[in-house]
Amino acid sequence: MSQGKYTGGYVKTPKQGIYKNVIELDFRSLYPSIILAHNIDPKTLNSKCNKKDRTYVPGFEKRYFCLTKKAKVPERLAKILEKRAKVKKMLKSKKLKKDERIKLEKKEKQYKLAANITYGYFGYPKSPWYNINCAESISAFGRYYIQEVIKKAEKEGFKVIYGDTDSIFVQGTVSKAKSFAKKINSLFPDPIDIEYRGIYKRGFFVSKKKRYALIDSKDNITIKGFETVRGDWCSIAKETQKKVIKKILQEKHNAAAKELRKAAIKIEKENAKISDVTLSVQLTKPISQYKAKAPHVEAAKKLIKSGKKVEVNSIIKYVITDRPGSISEKAEPVSSAKSYDKKYYIMNQILPSSLRILQYSGIFESDILIGSLSKYKK
């Protein structure tokens, strides 16, 4: 049995830029579907059976799973998916009361989670089904299927912008994409199935995985991987980035730059609230185990000194104040912060989070730091 880490899902790195008519195609529960389609279980791995009943793992010549042998993991997973399907069918009813719908939605999510973590059982040492070869095989099948879809999509004339583990983004028409998905599904074993998820009028991709933004016909925005979802960026930086992304997706590049300047000026004129500049970071270990002087750790020490209880996993909310000293020394618990360091928030929060997006439109720091902001130029 192989030990340690193994290769995960396949990622096709996007070429950064803005793309029009972006279509999302997504495998429905890819890893659970692979377990069922190939009967993946420690007991079926290389077990004796006829060659015609074997399914070989891509990239592993001598590794296969027996399709005809009964196995606990696929059987358990099939029951979970069956229950989820029933709940999803019930959710389609228009006669459901609000509380009934909430309960069913919660149950559906539970079944979905239970199905998705089945893959993790094979890689978890304390699991009764622990088998790294099984986990490795599932990801190998996953890489095979996503690469097959990408290869066939390109042959069909689609421009494949990005692909990651179980989904791809292509340029094309809705009708052609739906027809393509149907054609592909006829080639794959049940229940492996790729489906049309939607079309976006524009998408912004950078040359890193899991980092993109999309806007649909109703101007609803989907953002993945940017600072907007991270707690170690203050709310004004995150909200500004959202506005900048939206303007970029609307192809209003100058308006995007104005949004960034507007936020920087708000900080510079001290019109931002303390809540706008509050940072939130979780303590992952006891204070005594931190060797470096991190801002959130120093803020936590001040909370302890004031009599507050601080434990592992506590969320430390703090502000970088304008008092003298290093950044860590300037960190003050939000409950006692009365000011903020304008230069820090402009140069380390507001600008970096949005300029990394605006630079693709030819807008740089020198275009933002003008007028009253010019004093912050390096």
Between CA 163 and CA 210 the distance in angstroms is 9
Topology given in CATH for the domain delimited by 274-333: Ribonuclease H-like motif (3.40.1820)
How does pLDDT run across 256-285, given as a tens digit for each residue? 999 999 999 999 999 999 999 999 999 999
- Show Cβ contacts of residue 164 under 8 Å, excluding neighbours closer than 6 positions: 9, 10, 11, 12, 209, 210
Is there a cis peptide before residue 191, judged by omega within 30 degrees of 0?
Answer: yes
How is 159-221 classified by DSSP, letter by letter? EEEEEETTEEEEES-HHHHHHHHHHHHTTSPTT--EEEEEEEEEEEE-SSTT-EEEE-TT--E
Q: What is the pLDDT along the chain (378 residues), one digit of tens a residue?
A: 444 578 889 999 998 888 999 999 999 999 999 999 999 999 999 999 999 999 999 999 899 999 999 999 999 999 999 999 999 999 989 889 889 999 999 999 999 999 989 998 998 999 999 999 999 999 999 999 999 999 999 999 999 999 999 999 999 899 999 999 999 999 999 999 999 999 999 999 988 888 899 999 998 999 888 765 566 799 999 999 999 999 999 989 999 999 999 999 999 999 999 999 999 999 999 999 998 899 999 999 999 999 999 999 999 999 999 999 999 999 999 999 999 999 999 999 999 989 988 887 889 999 999 988 999 887
Distance CA 140, CA 228 (A): 32
CA 124 to chain centre: 22
SS3 state of residue 275: helix
Which of 215, 270, 261, 219 lies closest to 240, judged by CA? 261
Distance CA 75, CA 36 (A): 8
3-state secondary structure (DSSP) of residue 289: helix
Dist. CA 166–CA 135, nearest whole Å: 16
**Tokens linked to 98:** 């609000």
CA pair distance 136, 130, nearest whole angstrom: 11
- Listed by start position, the domains of the chain span 11-215, 226-272+342-376, 274-333
Look at residues 276, 50, 28 and name the one whose alpha carbon lies nearest to residue 145.
28
Q: Phi-psi category of 199—alpha, beta or left, where left has phi over 0 and alpha has psi -120 to 50?
A: beta
Q: Are strands 279-282 and 17-27 parallel, antiparallel or unpaired?
A: unpaired
Residue range 11-215 forms a domain whose CATH class is alpha beta
Check: CB of residue 345 under 8 Å from CB of residue 376: no
Locate the DSSP E strands across the chain. Answer: 11-12, 17-27, 54-56, 64-66, 159-164, 167-171, 194-205, 212-215, 221-224, 279-282, 315-320, 331-333
- Cα 169 to the chain's mean position, in Å? 15
